[in-house]
Amino acid sequence: MNTAPRTPPRLRAEIDLDALRGNVRALRARASGAELMAVVKADAYGHGALPCARAARQAGASWLGTATPEEALALRAGGDRGRVLCWLWTPGGPWAEAVAEDIDVSASGRWALDEITAAALRTGRTARVHLKADTGLGRNGCQPADWADLVAAAREAEASGLVQVTGVWSHFACADEPGHPSIAAQLAAFGEALGAAERAGLRPEVRHMANSPATLTLPASHFDLVRPGVSVYGLSPSPEVGVPEDFGLRPAMTLVAALAQVKEVPGGHGVSYGHSYTTPGPTTLALVPAGYADGIPRHASNTGPVLVAGKPRTVAGRIAMDQFVVDLGGDRAAVGDEAVLFGPGDRGEPTAEDWARAAGTIGYEIITRIGPRVPRLYAGE
């Protein structure tokens, strides 16, 4: 029996899995020569890792990608048996558990390869490893000066039967700015890294580099596998790249609150902490029970958009931990009415991109930070 309360939740994130499947299919069509890894790190960018992983698989994602090994192990615990790669490791990480669970792991340096080899020895299984090259991002990945040493060591570990190099990969710095000179430079550096791996005797099953913007705009980056994340959830990676509809993408998350109070106030009434908003005249205030503890950015105080009583409105005053206020002007609403913070945008509601602009951030951060206090309700499961 479902014991969930029948009243609508204070605040809910509706996740449209049909939209997610459609997005995966649209991305596969754009990169038809490559396999697709749906990136489901950070609880599938806030959408819920397991339901999204299942939907992505149904739409043809032959790989799933996570940042942390814990996220990858949670996919296995949830029943996923397909190929999974996780890439963000620290010394002493659960290498043996990952190898035992048939998870592909990543190494950006010798310390990682050494820990992987030791874990393979302990578990009695061959570890599948993707070697990561820093082709210019300057974040994770092996520097060109250390690459020859890493690929030689990996080849030696292969010869001992402990390791199989299944992937060589890298990550872009500026793929969301089409035409940025670093893009061509990184592709060239990746070519060099692949050449060195080949000369060392490595024969990786997949070479991969493309995140969402590269998957959408840069066919030369597709290689054997593409790794889209944010576009799987229907967002465009940046306004420069385009809007979701340009690519047949549809945002999968709609964030809806039930108004917790509606009241008449006189003009000159201060609103919320610090009184950074004052009612310009007698008006109606609606209380939206969502705040920064739920992931609503406080930086969007007095700027965040929200659809209430059929009209787009703006947050009035500060966004608090659990609540914010909207000035309805002359309009009416009832307690319990819906306030739509963001969604696909086709019912007049704002989008996550609109919130990103209001808060001075990116759409990625808006969806990913929606917190664990917000129930996810799935359609299309």
Ligand X SMILES: *Cc1c(COP(=O)(O)O)cnc(C)c1O
Q: Which sequence positions are flagged as catalytic? A: 41, 273
Minimum CB distance to ligand X smaller for 41 or for 313:
41
Q: For 240, phi and psi rounded to 5 degrees?
A: -60, -35
Whether the CB-CB separation of 116 and 129 falls below 8 Å is answered with yes
Cα separation, 208 vs 228, in Å, equals 11
Residues in the chain: 381
Whether the CB-CB separation of 153 and 100 falls below 8 Å is answered with no
Q: Which residue is nearest to ligand X (CB)?
A: 229
Q: What is the nearest approach in angstroms of ligand X to the Cβ of residue 210?
A: 8
Q: How far is CA 267 from the centre of its chain?
A: 43
Q: What is the nearest approach in angstroms of ligand X to the Cβ of residue 308?
A: 31
Q: C-alpha angle 19/310/279, rounded to 5°?
A: 125
Cα separation, 131 vs 118, in Å, equals 17
Q: What is the nearest approach in angstroms of ligand X to the Cβ of residue 170?
A: 9
Minimum CB distance to ligand X smaller for 108 or for 301:
108
Minimum CB distance to ligand X smaller for 217 or for 323:
217
Minimum CB distance to ligand X smaller for 88 or for 118:
88
Minimum CB distance to ligand X smaller for 45 or for 292:
45
Q: What is the nearest approach in angstroms of ligand X to the Cβ of residue 214?
A: 8
| CA distances to 92, 144, 146, 326, 327 from 283, in Å | 59, 63, 66, 11, 7
Cα separation, 160 vs 147, in Å, equals 20
Where do contacts with ligand X occur on this chain (CB under 6 A)? 39, 41, 87, 171, 211-212, 227-231, 237
Q: What is the nearest approach in angstroms of ligand X to the Cβ of residue 75?
A: 16
